[in-house]
Structure 1
């Protein structure tokens, strides 16, 4: 088949990023080494495939001041919705995730050197915690922006993130980095060492990394308004509060939670990693990868809000008289208190993630290749919640000490600890994964490439909440244990066929048989047409699926205080308890994706790619929109009432949300990339235009919401990399997010367009020593206000809530 000059442009590996290049020919063997590209298992001599791929190199990561994989990925235009990260305080559990196309992190597959990573959040989490992958070991990050279930199996609906580690490394590399905001807080710091050497006929690489991130308090940012524990407009400020004179008065003020909540969550990451690649003989290679990461992280929320239904017949008359109406007193009174006396809720996690991968790869006499691999991963987590409230003990203490609890005065901490009203909730969880695979790949004399293989994978997970939480005695929601496992056996086939000198067809098929729900078949059809040496057309049509995970199948019932509006107006709180349940009869989600694109090398150094993409998911695993069901029930729809277990009279005491296969997603858009390389400069423009994003028939295109995040119609990154001299380099990055619209309980709002500017400078003192320094968000751009934004009045996963940050690093190689 004719090879064009488009090989590098096809995968959008722009010059500011590390381009994946065909390895040099071995002069002794006088043969070209074959490589494997993300999204294909066929070993090939070129990188021209039908799927769009973006490659980000380690040099760009360092110059941009990124110290985590999550920071790199969250700024990509192809990311939408919400991705957990360092500014996710409420509910993140310290994890960091990636959300391609805004289709959820569970629909983005994360690989390490082409193989699956173990789920590694807190508890039976199905997502990969990007914190577990140290930046020091990364050579490049490849983002496949196409459905790839026919190649990799479950989870690769929205695309694949493949993290490639450094190999064939010789010498020692030390790196020290640090940063802080211009407000003198949020200090980040890190240290790494990497050492590589030749051992016998192989290369041995070993490294260690530490990185730390400091906290920032929400109220320390001037754009943050005082947070109210009862949200306006749907929240209420009803009820009475102590007047300090032994009586009660109407409640007219609310609690400001921003003085206790984190804007940036602290963590400490400790990583060890090693790899060994050696030739056992002239045709067989052994590869061993080992990695361990320990994460110590924390989040801080305002003190626990506590609500206790008190029996009026156990209360003194002097406290109940104020609450009687027409001489009639209810059987119960609701006692509500923000437990500031106990201190803020501090969520702490300790997670240990282990991964070992061993593979044998070989060549046969007909130039065919084979590989056998085994990968084992395990994640153990312990998390605690300090200053949790035992509601049962509080209720008994109120009856026994009514003068103290009704005084309106602060409570002594010793008083609370003496009767065990305060406790530390200790929870444990974990995930385990074991994968065995074998594959065979070859290219015939007529240039037909193909790959076949088998795979056997085992997944398990568990989560055990604190006993007090399981018993429902905590003032937070009751939660049951989670425990379960499943296995899957798979077989796949892939081929690439040159039908004409300039036209190639690609095909793939895969069968996965799950112990939980049965079998699933996925397929892929692709084509490339080199119209000229400078212009290529590519397209892919594929199906995909996502299997229900352990938490969705076997998760214990849990409570969640959701922000809801009660149409019957019985509830006095903006947050209403919803019981969340799993379902072991869940089936797999199914998807269909289509991409069509063009690659054009306009002139020497100037190239462009344009790709249309479309994804359609059916049978999505989701929970019914509780608010919509509440509204429908209120309007007389009995089916809606039964689906969430609510009476038509508005009794919300058993409000339940069960996982079902009733969801859907439809999204489409266009990716456009232009890059130009001159003698001393490299310019890149990467843009995503969102045409449509619908979920469960609700249109989120161009909207932003405190719960679902942002789906901006246009996100764009501009990078200019300029070599002032052979030793001095300047990198400028600009990130554009188009304004979005929102609606919050009948009130419409809009956010403006926003541009973040980053700049850095790198200076090579000599071949061994490099200094890098810069500033991100150099104009200290504040985030846009979002009505209903539950964190800082905005969406921290979309906008920068930290402000200007100065960073510096020193890299020394010897």
Structure 2
């Protein structure tokens, strides 16, 4: 399909008075030609900046680009590219190692796996898959975490030690870089010109003595007349922090005790209908005379058969097994060699190898069996427990599937919830290997008084992941061991299973029969061929007409292969099926920079930027994306810019070809009595029409939702607009009180159509109950008891996402005095709108100032930093601010922790973090820099989040609860 090409040039001209940019001081990256080592006469005298393909001796980006220098990176005290980028004010919620995802989140609603152990970046709250990550201007391969085929880049595959700087372009850039650049581009520039050696040691730890991070970086480089060589190695070790060590994360939901604990308990919960009396029983075993949970007044019933009625006090606290920070070890080696044939041609080669070893842990895996188990697994939902099973205490068959031919065997097993703590917690170990190779030629052609710059490049990269899962169960073997003892006796290795006797009653032989080791694997590869040329086409009346043009061919391959047990449907955990696919794309682009006015006619300069890219995909056809920009240098003090761009994102391999998989989501069923005993909020008549009997209770807040790929998906299309100004007043330059002052204001707007996404599951369920419309209700089925036992929520091209806001920044350098030299920066992002609407008009819950689905869109985020330097001392103080948020209390509305019970919402107060760093440089060798710092100096806890899936806070927005982070760094150059 072809995207419509719009031409809003008139609007862009009218709005150019607010043109967008960063101050020139923030946009002066090191040259790409090695001038730092004095070879300017023998190398390419051009500058390549992120946001334009045009190479000239002097050029500034047409779009706002934020540059993080090596000094900026070191100032954070962080050891992950992903963590650094997530701290930017324009970044949204994205996965990181504070998400203990495996075993809890299930598969992403986008059908691309859980991404365990990875770190991603989201710009403008449009999602990590809509950010393009480049390394030295070339695409990086997508992640692989052995749980699916992801659509995003894992920044933990890029060692921080090889990074020279990071350019962040927060504007649509599909015309320049192709698919995925809807929200912006992150371009990671690697170290190249390096003479000598460097050793860097990092050590950090949280104030409570845990979460230790250790790092060692080695770098060595050599420059000669005709070559330069750089090699670096890095190792980072991050130790875990357990949820049980922090007050806020010790229970499933802070301030609610065990109310939102699990029905899957070590002693077991048994909901059944006595076929002799017709009474519905909800029982759990007593622990003996000293049973702390057995209180007839509390449990509501007093029995003499060793059981009592299940109550809140019997629920299981799974939170104490979770991690606040998942352990990770990253080891990487990077090398780069560049040879200069002469002053016009050079060749380069790059190689990288990186290994990530990470671990996630969840509570011992529960067994949910019976008609109302809701697992989506036919064996578990249809479980049969024989009366002849030697451990069955009830004396009758427990039947989950109604057999019309045997009336006496009507359904009487509603649910068994038993958590075999004897098998230990679920542990997921990931090993991710990244291999990368790139080679190319760069040159300069001289034609008269003009120079044209060209390059030809090839790169190939692969991410390969293996995940080993300990602590899960084989549901088929469980069914055999609970069923007819004669069948079990005839099956090699089978021993009857005791799920009724409480903790300690599963013997090693029982566990050996039901507990396998599960192994999954996945991989993604990316091959890129590209060629580019840039220079001045002609001399126009107002200046040179500059251009860039190029062609690129890419091939993507991806696959995910779950364990054979999972494929067969016998895995008790989150089910999934294999995924594999590939596609290729061929592209061509052109970019023009047209001077419109002679210097000093109406200001210093006025330039028009035009760009367009044609893309041909093997999966869906062709796409054309244009971009327009105006840059008006009104005076030396004032720069005005505006850009308009159309963009697109092609569906990924996982989104197109992903097989059905399951996500376990926190959902409140409006037709059922809440976990806190609250009355159903759904229309009673509609709930009855859906088959929900009066008085039905929601047993668990986690509902299994099935999602998967869709081969009929179309590309997402987008329109992006930025406009703003940069003002560098002359009275603040070279003054007694100021060396330089830059004020920057940028307005952005993104409009996305046909977003590839599943409708929010809670929204779908609520609309089903409200309307009974098959559009929402198809795919949601219920058991005869009323609980949801299947929920299909497939990917589709949803309606639209629209967001806009402002960036307002200040950069101030003060003159050097006897007290030293100070610099102040203050960066702010204000989001004024975010609205996502489904294809049928369903308003999705994400919005500005709202916390939902473990992510947030604060209306204001701000970072202020004061830097100081005097002689060999340096220091910095950073203040990070996140504005107030609101969330739905859900079933927690009855608790004091819900701050606004009248309207059912909870306020997450504004949060401010303070970070402090101080350093001293010794004149030893080429320099020894010692640095000490503390992040979250005031030991600020994040606000309590009642709707978050784990640990009681939003791990993508806030720091870990309850802990200052102290770190030391030693950096020796020689």
In structure 1, how many angstroms separate the alpha carbons of the residues matched to 2:507 and 2:354? 37
Superposed CA deviations along residues 752-803 of structure 1, whole A, max 9, x for unmatched, are 1111001111110114211011111111111100111222111111111152
- In the other structure, the counterpart of 2:631 is 528
Partner of residue 523 from structure 2, selected from 424, 427, 430: 430
- In the other structure, the counterpart of 2:960 is 801
In structure 2, how many angstroms separate the alpha carbons of the residues matched to 1:468 and 1:711? 40
- In the other structure, the counterpart of 1:505 is 608
- In the other structure, the counterpart of 1:11 is 22
> SS where residue 694 of structure 1 aligns?
strand
1:20 CA drift (Å):
4.8
In structure 2, how many angstroms separate the alpha carbons of the residues matched to 1:30 and 1:573? 70
In the alignment, does 2:435 pair up with 1:338?
A: no
Superposed CA deviations along residues 68-114 of structure 1, whole A, max 9, x for unmatched, are 10121111000123343344545441111001111110000000001
Structure 1, unmatched stretches of 5+, are 1-8
In structure 2, how many angstroms separate the alpha carbons of the residues matched to 1:28 and 1:383? 49
Q: Which has the higher mean CA deviation after the structures are superposed, 226-235 or 114-123?
A: 226-235
> SS where residue 753 of structure 2 aligns?
strand
Contact preservation (8 Å) 1:118, 1:377: yes
Change (3 A) 1:581 1:592: same
Change (3 A) 1:234 1:308: closer
- In the other structure, the counterpart of 2:342 is 281
Q: Which has the higher mean CA deviation after the structures are superposed, 407-416 or 75-84?
A: 407-416
Structure 2, unmatched stretches of 5+, are 1-19, 103-113, 264-268, 272-281, 289-304, 371-382, 400-407, 486-494, 600-604, 673-691, 693-697, 734-739, 838-842, 891-902
In structure 2, how many angstroms separate the alpha carbons of the residues matched to 1:685 and 1:44? 31
**1:59-138 paired onto structure 2 within 5 Å:** 59-90=71-102, 91-123=114-146, 124-138=149-163
1:168 CA drift (Å):
1.2
**Given the two structures, how large is their TM-score scaled by the length of structure 2?**
0.78
Superposed CA deviations along residues 403-435 of structure 1, whole A, max 9, x for unmatched, are 84212232345133332x111110011001101
Change (3 A) 1:403 1:248: farther
Partner of residue 504 from structure 2, selected from 402, 406, 410: 410
In structure 2, how many angstroms separate the alpha carbons of the residues matched to 1:619 and 1:175? 47
Contact preservation (8 Å) 2:21, 2:641: no
1:731 CA drift (Å):
1.0
**Given the two structures, how large is their TM-score scaled by the length of structure 1?**
0.93
Partner of residue 807 from structure 2, selected from 668, 671, 690: 671
1:32 CA drift (Å):
8.9
Q: Which has the higher mean CA deviation after the structures are superposed, 689-698 or 269-278?
A: 689-698
- In the other structure, the counterpart of 1:311 is 384
Contact preservation (8 Å) 2:31, 2:46: no
Alignment RMSD, CA only?
A: 2.7
Contact preservation (8 Å) 1:175, 1:809: yes
Contact preservation (8 Å) 1:701, 1:712: no
1:744 CA drift (Å):
3.1
- In the other structure, the counterpart of 2:185 is 160
In the alignment, does 2:646 pair up with 1:543?
A: yes
Contact preservation (8 Å) 2:330, 2:357: yes
Contact preservation (8 Å) 2:471, 2:517: yes
**1:507-586 paired onto structure 2 within 5 Å:** 507-569=610-672, 572-586=699-713
In the alignment, does 2:797 pair up with 1:661?
A: yes
> SS where residue 866 of structure 2 aligns?
strand
> SS where residue 656 of structure 2 aligns?
helix
In the alignment, does 2:472 pair up with 1:461?
A: no
1:628 CA drift (Å):
2.4
Contact preservation (8 Å) 1:442, 1:450: yes
**1:344-743 paired onto structure 2 within 5 Å:** 344-366=425-447, 367-399=451-483, 400=485, 404-412=498-506, 414-419=508-513, 421-443=514-536, 444-446=538-540, 447-500=544-597, 501=599, 502-569=605-672, 572-602=699-729, 603-604=732-733, 605-641=740-776, 643-644=778-779, 646=781, 652-678=788-814, 679=816, 680-696=821-837, 697-698=843-844, 700-723=846-869, 725-743=870-888
**1:136-215 paired onto structure 2 within 5 Å:** 136-199=161-224, 201-215=226-240
In the alignment, does 2:65 pair up with 1:53?
A: yes
> SS where residue 442 of structure 1 aligns?
strand
> Which has the larger Rg?
2
1:530 CA drift (Å):
1.0
Partner of residue 951 from structure 2, selected from 792, 795, 803: 792
In structure 1, how many angstroms separate the alpha carbons of the residues matched to 2:625 and 2:173? 9
1:564 CA drift (Å):
2.0
In structure 1, how many angstroms separate the alpha carbons of the residues matched to 2:261 and 2:502? 26
In structure 2, how many angstroms separate the alpha carbons of the residues matched to 1:681 and 1:416? 68
In structure 1, how many angstroms separate the alpha carbons of the residues matched to 2:773 and 2:763? 13
- In the other structure, the counterpart of 1:37 is 49
Change (3 A) 1:140 1:339: same
Q: Which has the higher mean CA deviation after the structures are superposed, 556-565 or 590-599?
A: 556-565
Superposed CA deviations along residues 225-258 of structure 1, whole A, max 9, x for unmatched, are 4227998579889732112475322112211122
Contact preservation (8 Å) 1:22, 1:46: no
- In the other structure, the counterpart of 1:255 is 316
Q: Which has the higher mean CA deviation after the structures are superposed, 586-595 or 88-97?
A: 88-97
Q: Which has the higher mean CA deviation after the structures are superposed, 532-541 or 799-808?
A: 799-808
- In the other structure, the counterpart of 1:268 is 329
Q: Which has the higher strand share?
A: 1
Contact preservation (8 Å) 1:174, 1:813: yes
Change (3 A) 1:574 1:402: farther
Change (3 A) 1:539 1:85: farther
1:315 CA drift (Å):
5.3
> SS where residue 539 of structure 2 aligns?
coil
In structure 2, how many angstroms separate the alpha carbons of the residues matched to 1:513 and 1:786? 45
